[in-house]
Every structure is written in structure tokens, then in C-alpha cells.
């Protein structure tokens, strides 16, 4: 047994020379930084703490303050905070700074788990906005704005509105319209949109839409180190001081200067090399998308499709649809890794997702195209297969008897599914696809929900939460 199993597996992954179509956006290439020895032999020398001259992330007065001011100016915010606990910390802080216990906040049902963590921590009550589903109802696109406007008009006591924009698949909603129908604080999870200001081809950033607070994961689509992100804010509807205080509660008291410096270096690199993105789009990404889309059996989520649905699409997110392949997304991901040395970002039943950045070389892209040509020959089918759908549509959203916080801190017990009707869930059940929670802690298990839970156990649909699914048990409150 190895004494360093994590390090050994990291080295193994590197030595295999895998083509990475996943986060982080630097793609394992260190030369994107101004100083190529940034993480070389000096890594331990640069791993420092708050000694005199290096400032304090929780109360910045000198170098960190200046660096954050430069970032705010570049990204178009009035102020910003560096995040060393990922965008998750920023999402928790923004919610806790704008809504309190018992307050009602409008959220998308399929929001990132950190948003639910915020609700559990502060006791706010979720009101759910409706998602628009596409592609056989297996792919959440983004918010249904017509339904959103109805909810905003009906729910007069909403304290804030939380929106994920872009979605994981790069689909964006029209925030300008949302801003025009409400003056409530807009909290935006723009984790996957830190690059939006680098080309006019990309959707418009939250900074230009009238957002009040938003997070950007500079490590996802740019080239800072994993876990480094930025929380941005505009003055007016939110308290800058309250946000700073909440971040002091949430973020580590030992922030990594390597992470903060990588945020800084990513900004400098992309600021100075903006034309690189234009060249990348015209000479790598668009030809790559056209080539893949021309291969029999391989179809991509397209700008035309999302536009017809009322959305925009970030072209760097390549969602490969499997209507005309006789394998599912999990099998395709496995084939790409084992046979072609390619690792994707996400695999689901009916699609896979690849992330492409300027760091990808033409040789890597050519290998990807060649792999899909071979996969097409091996697995494409004539006509369209019957897309795997659920036996049931997702049930009507259950009644929320307790807030997520109340349910989380109640004592719990595991029950057989057949005995759970009428009980209150204490755990999440999130089937994939489509990644929308069937149950959130605090919701009542109805007979319709029970039938769907029973279906999930029998068909072995992938779920987050539902920890004893294979045993037909669910965690409920006492």
C-alpha cells in the first residue's frame, strides 16, 4: 500500500498524458503565467502567511486591497473579494448578506449545492423558479422567464432573486429583462462565465446586466488554480460591509497566497492576451464544433437551438448529444478515457460535456475529432434511437413543511420507501438527468414522490443524495 496514494494518482494522471477537456481552465499548462516559475521550484517559498507587507485577506489595506481593486476595475464591478474557498464560499456569503432567517428568496430548483448550504446555515425559505427543459426533457436549459415574471409579481415579500447564469452547459438567460421587472437584489452564480468579457461572441457578463452580487470561478474557464474565485458587487442594493463580514465567517483564516496570486496572474494574462481568445474562437473552437457536428451520429447543443428556446449559448461548452449513438454518456466517457486518452468534464445518460479553452492545442483537438470519427463508425445507428426517459414525469413539487435548515437539524431515521409516504425528507434526492431535485430536506414525501423514488431504486438512475437508494431506504425527520 502506497504511503502517498493521492500524490501517486496525480502523478499517474499526469504521466498518462491525458487530453483534458475539464476544469481547471489552465489545462495543466503553467506557461500561461507571467512568471513561468510561479509554481516551479519556488512553490514552497511562495506559500506564505500574513507576515508584514503581505496584507490580510479578511481586512485588506495594502497589496491585497490593491489587487482586488485592479480586479474589480477589469471585471466591471464596484468592489470584489478574492475567494480561496471557491465560488461556493461566495454564494453562501451573498445569500447570508442579503436574506435572513425566515426571509423568502427566489431560487432555481437545480441550483448549486452551495446555495442550499446557505439556506441551511441561515434559515431562509426557498421559493422556486421554474426551469425550461430541452432535448427530451433531460437537459435543464435555464429559467423560464415567463414563469419567473409571474412568480415575482405574485410573491411580493421576496427579499432577493438568485439565478445561475450560465448553466453548467453554458446556457444563459436574459438578465436584462429580469432586471427590468424587479428592483430586488439579483444574486448571480456566474461561476462558469469568468471569460465572458474576452470576446463579443460570448454572452454578456453579469456586470453589464445590472446584477448586484455575482461570483466567477476564475479557475474554471480562465487559468487560476482550482479553488480560486472572485465575488463581485455593485453598490446600492447590497451592503458591501455585510458581504465582507459574512466572508470573514465563511472563509479560512489561513488563506493561500498561491491561490490569491494565481487569480492575479490569470487576470494579467488574459488582460494582455485578449486577442488570443479571438484567434482561439476562429481557428480552433468554431472549426472544431463544425467538424464534430458533421460526424454521423454526433450532434452538439447549438446556438441556433438555444436561441430558438430564448437563450444564449457559450460556445466553449460543448455538449455532445447521443440521440444517434447506441451507447449512453457514461459509456462514451469511459470509451474516450480508456481508448483515446481523453477526459471529459461531465457524463450523463443522454449527453457528455467538454470544456474547451485557448490552452488546448490543435494536436489535442485533432485527436478529439479523430476519436469521434472512430466512435461514430463503431456506435452510430441509422435514424434516432428511443431516448431513455423516466417512466414518470418529475412529480409535482412536494409541499415544504420545514425549511431546509429546520429539517437538517431535526433528528432523523431511515425508513423503507413503502413506509415513507407522509414523512418529511431529511436528505436530498437529485436524479441525473435532469439534475433537478426531486426532494429537498423539509419536503413531504407524497405517494407520487414515493412512486418515483421506487422507480429510481429499480432502474438504478444515478442520484445525488438518497444515500441508501440501493437498499430502498430514505432518511426522514423524526
- How far, in Å, CA of 94 to CA of 247, rounded? 9
Q: Provide the 3-class DSSP secondary structure of residue 69.
A: helix
> Does the pLDDT of residue 41 top 80, yes or no?
no
- CATH number corresponding to 404-477: 3.90.100.10
The three three-digit cell numbers of residue 385, written as one number? 434511437
- How far, in Å, CA of 459 to CA of 468, rounded? 14
- How far, in Å, CA of 226 to CA of 246, rounded? 22
Q: pLDDT by residue (tens digit) across 101-132?
A: 999 999 998 899 999 999 999 999 999 999 89
Contact 284, 239 (CB under 8 A): no
Q: CB 116: neighbour CB atoms within 10 A?
A: 22
Q: pLDDT by residue (tens digit) across 53-86?
A: 999 999 999 999 999 999 999 999 999 999 999 9
> Does the pLDDT of residue 392 top 50, yes or no?
no
pLDDT of residue 385: 60
Tell me, yes or no, if the two domains 275-379 and 404-477 fold the same way: no
Q: pLDDT by residue (tens digit) across 233-252?
A: 999 999 999 999 999 999 99
Contact 355, 345 (CB under 8 A): yes
Query: Residues near 461 by Cβ (< 8 Å), separated by ≥ 6?
Result: 349, 390, 431, 432, 455
Q: Provide the 3-class DSSP secondary structure of residue 291.
A: helix
Average pLDDT, the chain: 92
Q: pLDDT by residue (tens digit) across 328-351?
A: 899 999 999 999 999 999 998 889
The three three-digit cell numbers of residue 21, written as one number? 477537456
Which backbone phi and psi does 413 adopt, to 5 degrees?
-155, 155
The fold adopted by the segment(s) 5-269 is 3.40.640
Q: CB 332: neighbour CB atoms within 10 A?
A: 20
In this structure, what is the dihedral angle of CA atoms 77, 190, 162, 240, given to the nearest 10 degrees? -30
93 φψ region: left (φ > 0), alpha (ψ -120 to 50), beta (else): alpha
pLDDT band at 33 (very low <50, low <70, confident <90, very high): low
The three three-digit cell numbers of residue 433, written as one number? 438527468
pLDDT of residue 189: 97
Kindly state the DSSP code that residue 382 receives in the 8-state scheme. S
- How far, in Å, CA of 470 to CA of 478, rounded? 22
Query: Residues near 98 by Cβ (< 8 Å), separated by ≥ 6?
Result: 105, 159, 160, 185, 187, 212, 213, 238, 242
- Give the residue with greater pLDDT, 438 vs 340: 340
> Does the pLDDT of residue 190 top 70, yes or no?
yes
pLDDT band at 135 (very low <50, low <70, confident <90, very high): confident
- How far, in Å, CA of 8 to CA of 449, rounded? 44
Q: pLDDT by residue (tens digit) across 90-106?
A: 999 999 999 999 999 99
Q: pLDDT by residue (tens digit) across 412-431?
A: 999 999 999 999 999 999 88
pLDDT of residue 390: 44
**Comparing C-alpha atoms, which of 147, 136, 143 is closest to residue 172?**
143
Place of cell 489535442: 364
* CATH fit for domain 275-379, picks 3.40.50.300, 3.90.1300.10, 2.60.40.1120, 3.90.1150.10: 3.90.1150.10
So where are the chain's domains? 5-269, 275-379, 404-477
- pTM of the full predicted structure? 0.93
pLDDT band at 405 (very low <50, low <70, confident <90, very high): very high
Q: pLDDT by residue (tens digit) across 267-295?
A: 999 999 999 999 999 999 999 999 999 99
Query: Residues near 141 by Cβ (< 8 Å), separated by ≥ 6?
Result: 131, 132, 133, 134, 167, 169, 171, 306, 309, 311
Place of cell 483564516: 253
Give me the sheet containing 79-83, strands edge to edge.
79-83, 229-233, 213-216, 186-189, 158-164, 104-108, 125-129
pLDDT of residue 393: 59
- Give the residue with greater pLDDT, 39 vs 207: 207
> Does the pLDDT of residue 389 top 60, yes or no?
no
Amino acid at each position: 500500500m502506497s504511503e502517498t496514494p493521492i500524490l501517486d494518482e496525480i502523478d499517474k494522471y499526469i504521466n498518462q498524458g491525458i487530453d483534458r477537456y475539464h476544469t481547471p481552465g489552465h489545462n495543466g499548462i503553467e506557461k500561461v503565467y507571467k512568471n513561468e516559475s510561479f509554481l516551479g521550484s519556488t512553490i514552497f517559498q511562495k506559500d506564505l502567511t500574513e507576515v508584514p507587507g503581505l496584507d490580510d485577506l479578511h481586512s485588506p489595506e495594502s497589496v491585497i486591497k490593491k489587487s482586488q481593486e485592479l480586479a474589480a476595475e477589469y471585471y466591471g464591478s464596484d468592489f470584489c473579494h478574492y475567494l480561496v474557498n471557491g465560488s461556493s464560499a461566495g454564494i453562501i456569503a451573498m445569500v447570508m448578506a442579503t436574506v435572513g432567517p425566515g426571509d423568502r428568496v427566489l431560487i432555481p430548483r437545480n441550483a448549486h449545492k452551495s446555495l442550499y448550504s446557505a439556506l441551511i446555515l441561515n434559515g431562509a425559505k426557498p421559493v422556486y423558479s421554474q426551469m425550461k427543459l430541452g432535448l427530451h426533457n433531460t437537459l435543464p436549459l435555464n429559467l423560464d422567464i415567463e414563469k419567473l415574471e409571474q412568480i415575482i409579481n405574485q410573491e411580493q415579500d421576496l427579499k432577493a432573486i438568485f439565478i445561475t447564469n450560465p448553466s453548467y452547459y453554458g446556457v444563459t438567460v436574459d438578465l436584462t429583462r429580469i432586471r427590468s421587472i424587479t428592483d430586488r437584489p439579483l444574486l448571480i452564480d456566474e461561476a462558469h462565465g469568468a471569460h465572458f468579457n474576452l470576446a463579443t461572441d460570448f454572452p454578456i457578463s453579469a456586470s453589464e446586466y445590472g446584477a448586484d452580487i455575482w461570483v466567477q470561478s476564475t479557475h474554471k474557464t480562465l487559468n487560476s488554480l482550482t479553488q480560486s474565485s472572485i465575488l463581485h458587487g455593485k453598490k446600492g442594493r447590497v451592503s458591501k460591509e455585510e458581504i465582507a463580514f459574512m466572508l470573514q465567517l465563511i472563509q479560512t483564516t489561513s488563506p493561500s497566497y498561491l491561490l490569491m496570486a494565481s487569480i492575479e496572474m490569470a487576470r494579467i494574462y488574459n488582460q494582455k492576451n485578449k486577442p488570443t481568445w479571438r484567434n482561439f474562437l476562429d481557428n480552433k473552437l468554431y472549426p472544431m464544433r463544425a467538424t464534430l457536428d458533421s460526424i454521423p451520429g454526433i450532434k452538439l447543443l447549438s446556438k441556433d437551438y438555444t436561441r430558438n428556446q430564448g437563450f444564449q449559448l457559450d460556445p466553449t461548452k460543448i455538449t455532445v448529444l447521443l440521440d444517434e449513438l447506441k451507447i449512453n454518456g457514461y459509456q462514451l466517457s469511459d470509451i474516450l478515457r480508456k481508448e483515446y486518452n481523453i477526459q471529459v468534464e461531465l457524463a450523463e445518460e443522454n449527453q457528455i460535456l467538454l470544456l474547451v479553452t485557448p490552452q488546448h492545442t490543435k494536436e489535442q483537438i485533432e485527436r478529439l475529432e479523430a476519436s469521434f470519427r472512430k466512435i461514430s463508425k463503431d456506435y452510430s445507428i441509422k435514424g434516432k434511437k428511443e431516448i431513455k426517459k423516466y417512466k414518470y414525469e418529475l412529480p409535482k413539487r412536494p409541499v415544504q413543511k420545514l425549511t431546509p435548515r429546520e429539517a437538517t437539524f431535526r433528528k432523523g431515521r431511515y425508513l423503507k420507501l413503502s413506509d415513507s409516504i407522509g414523512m418529511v425528507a431529511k436528505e436530498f434526492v437529485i436524479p441525473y438527468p435532469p439534475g433537478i431535485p426531486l426532494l429537498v430536506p423539509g419536503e413531504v414525501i407524497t405517494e407520487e414522490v414515493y412512486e418515483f423514488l421506487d422507480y429510481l431504486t429499480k432502474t438504478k438512475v444515478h442520484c445525488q443524495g438518497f444515500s441508501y437508494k440501493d437498499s430502498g431506504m430514505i432518511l426522514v425527520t423524526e
